Structure formats: C-alpha cells, structure tokens
Amino acid sequence: MSTSPLKSSVSNTRSLTDERKKLLHNSSPSTAQDIDAPTRKRPRSLKQTHFATTMRKTVCSECQMSYMQHLKSDRQLHEKYHQRAVEGMELGPTITLVWSSIEHHQLKSGVDGKIVEVNIESSKQISVAEEFLDIVNNILSAPQDNRDWSFDPNRGKVFLFVIRSKAVGICSTERISEGKWMVYDTGQLVPKQRIPLIIGISRIYVSHKYRRMGIGLRLLVAVQHHSIYGLTLARNQIGWSQPSEFGGKLALSFNGVKHKSGKMLIPIYEER
Ligand SMILES: CC(C)(COP(=O)(O)OP(=O)(O)OC[C@H]1O[C@@H](n2cnc3c(N)ncnc32)[C@H](O)[C@@H]1OP(=O)(O)O)[C@@H](O)C(=O)NCCC(=O)NCCS
Ligand SMILES: [Zn+2]
C-alpha cells in the first residue's frame, strides 16, 4: 500500500462532524423513539419538577435507545428494538431460502455464517436492509445514509452477514471517486491532497453478540470482491465515511497506511 506525504498543517474534520449533527437534528425520527434525546440541549430556564423526575427517560447503554422505564409499552418497544440491535435481525425461516449467498464462512467460534448481497429485485430484502440501517443510524447517532443502492447496484450495494436465520452484520456502500487521508490519532485531514477511491463504506455494523469474530473484516473483503463485476478492488481503493471509534479500529486493520512520520492514515471521503 502506498504512503503519502503528510504536511505539517492539517485541516480539521470538525466541520464534517457539525454538518452531521445538523443533518441528524433535521432528520425525521425512525425506528427508535426520540433516540437523540440525551444529546439535545435543554433550555436553562426550565426547573426540574417532581413530575419531570418521574418522567425521566432511561438510555440503554448498548442500543442507545431512550425510553420511559415506567411505561410498559415503552419497555416492550425497547426490548424488541434492543434484541435486534444486540442479537441481529430475524429474517424468518422461509426468507433465508430466497437470499442467495455469495460466500460461506466459518467463524473462529466454529459457527457457520454466510454473506448475502441484498437483491434489489426483492422489496422484502430492501426493506429488511433499510430497517437494519435505520437501527444502525440510531445507534451511531448518524444521519440518514445514502440509499442509492436500493435502485441501482452500480451506485452501491448492501451486504449482510447471516447466521442461521438472523442478519448479524451489515455493510452498505456507495460509488465514490475520491477522498482524503485522515490521521488516525487526531482525526485531522491531510490538506491539499486528494486520493482516488472507488467504493465508500457508508455504514458497517456488527451486532454486539458477534463482535471481534472477524465478521466486520469479512464483510469488507466481500466489498472488495463483489462491488464491481469481474474486478477485485485493492484495499486502498475503499474509503470510510467519517469512521466511529470502533470503525476507526476496523479501518486501521483493513486499510490503514503507515506514513513515514510513523502516523497511521485512513482513507476517508465525504458522504453525499
Ligand atoms: C466496527 C465493527 C463493525 C467491527 O466489527 P467486528 O466484526 O467486531 O470486527 P472484526 O472482528 O472483523 O475486527 C477485525 C479487526 O479490527 C480491529 N478491531 C475491530 N473492532 C475493534 C475493537 N473494538 N477494538 C480494537 N480493535 C478492533 C482488530 O484489529 C480486529 O482484529 P482482531 O479481533 O483479530 O484483533 C463493530 O465494532 C461495530 O458494529 N461497531 C458499532 C458500529 C460502528 O461503529 N460502525 C463503524 C462505523 S464507521
Ligand atoms: Zn437497549
């Protein structure tokens, strides 16, 4: 993998983060109710009342959903949502038969799994993928992702990692043409340098129960082999859309590049 000259002054990614927050603020609520409530600023003049105390919301540390613990309907909604976020999305016994797998894998734990590519001829498959991506966006506090893949496979794809009848991992991609190097440690961008990229990782997520088993990496390898017919992409042709903390670690292990300064760089791009 090639390295690139790292200039002394680097521009910051903060503006991108702020843009994301803005987008998130304006986006409509999805599967989980009021998921971004913990980060919302409260007006200073408001006084805490007894009523407000009993209405306080609980935020689940695993799935990030906020809900009213004392309301049965809220608790039930959380349980349903939590299970899908932590253990994966149930596809149903008959549905799995019509999902065509592109790769089979045995995990370190000995569990068998397969990677499937979402077939956009099937509205059911599209809606499962969209529902999964909505959950991922809520957990990552990320804005609505690019859904171009749902009408044109040349503009992106979605790969799922399936164990038995559950989708436990997802990776959505988009076609891109260029990006930049990001210094892993600081999150700063290397200025005045554009790098050619072909595919962007829009979202990648593995259910909590199945992390550190190699599923994330396998999904990325599937992206390398199955994004463009007849072509295997080099790892440095794949970029990341503002990686999260864990995403950054995965990115480092997949296509991090060591600069001569000793700093690790990750190829990133700005999501449309
Ligand atoms: C990021 C994520 C998809 C990684 O999936 P995963 O299946 O656990 O990743 P893998 O098991 O394939 O990890 C491959 C390598 O990446 C690195 N890595 C991945 N997660 C890591 C973590 N939490 N801590 C340290 N290194 C990590 C390690 O080098 C790992 O190899 P090792 O387990 O042999 O040490 C998963 O943690 C996740 O869904 N996180 C929440 C969503 C998210 O942040 N998505 C990224 C958005 S950019
Ligand atoms: Zn939860």
Predicted pLDDT of residue 103: 85
What percent of the chain has a predicted confidence (pLDDT) above 70?
A: 78
Please say whether the beta carbons of 172 and 158 come within 8 A: yes
Compute the distance from residue 63 Cα to the ligand 2 centre, in Å: 4
Compute the distance from residue 37 Cα to the ligand 2 centre, in Å: 15
- Pocket lining: 244 vs ligand 1, CB cutoff 6 Å: yes
- Give residue 84's identity as a one-letter amino acid code: R
Mutate to test the pocket of ligand 1, among 250, 252, 253 (most ligand atoms within 8 A of CB): 250
Predicted pLDDT of residue 235: 98
Predicted pLDDT of residue 232: 96
pLDDT tens per residue, range 245-267? 999 999 999 999 999 899 999 99
Predicted pLDDT of residue 65: 85
Of the candidates 165, 167, 175, which has an alpha carbon nearest to the alpha carbon of residue 117? 167
Compute the distance from residue 269 Cα to the ligand 2 centre, in Å: 31
Predicted pLDDT of residue 272: 76
Predicted pLDDT of residue 62: 85
Q: Which tokens hold the place of 52?
A: 């407000």
Predicted pLDDT of residue 57: 86
Specify the CATH number of the domain 14-30+89-268.
3.40.630.30
- Pocket lining: 10 vs ligand 1, CB cutoff 6 Å: no
Q: Which tokens hold the place of 192?
A: 């005045």
Predicted pLDDT of residue 45: 41
Q: Check whether 1 has a pLDDT greater than 50.
A: no
pLDDT tens per residue, range 86-116? 899 988 766 555 677 788 888 877 889 999 9
Of the candidates 226, 6, 41, 205, which has an alpha carbon nearest to the alpha carbon of residue 117? 226
Compute the distance from residue 82 Cα to the ligand 2 centre, in Å: 4
- Pocket lining: 212 vs ligand 1, CB cutoff 6 Å: yes
What is the residue with the minimal CA distance to atom 46 of ligand 1? 247
Predicted pLDDT of residue 5: 35
Predicted pLDDT of residue 100: 75
CATH 3.40.630.30 positions along the chain are: 14-30+89-268
- Pocket lining: 211 vs ligand 1, CB cutoff 6 Å: yes
Compute the distance from residue 206 Cα to the ligand 2 centre, in Å: 15
Predicted pLDDT of residue 185: 94
Give the ligand 1 atom nearest the CA of 247.
46
Predicted pLDDT of residue 54: 56
Using pLDDT thresholds of 50, 70 and 90, give the confidence band for residue 9: very low
pLDDT tens per residue, range 38-66? 333 333 343 444 444 456 889 998 888 88
Of residues 236 and 64, more confidently modeled: 236
Q: Check whether 237 has a pLDDT greater than 90.
A: yes
Predicted pLDDT of residue 109: 79
Give the ligand 1 atom nearest the CA of 136.
42
- Pocket lining: 214 vs ligand 1, CB cutoff 6 Å: yes
The label of the residue with tokens 């060591």 reads 258
Please say whether the beta carbons of 116 and 100 come within 8 A: yes
What is the residue with the minimal CA distance to atom 15 of ligand 1? 250
- Pocket lining: 33 vs ligand 1, CB cutoff 6 Å: no
For the chain, give the mean pLDDT.
80
What is the residue with the minimal CA distance to atom 33 of ligand 1? 212
Predicted pLDDT of residue 106: 87
**228 burial type by CB count under 10 A (0-12 exposed, 13-18 middle, 19+ buried):** middle
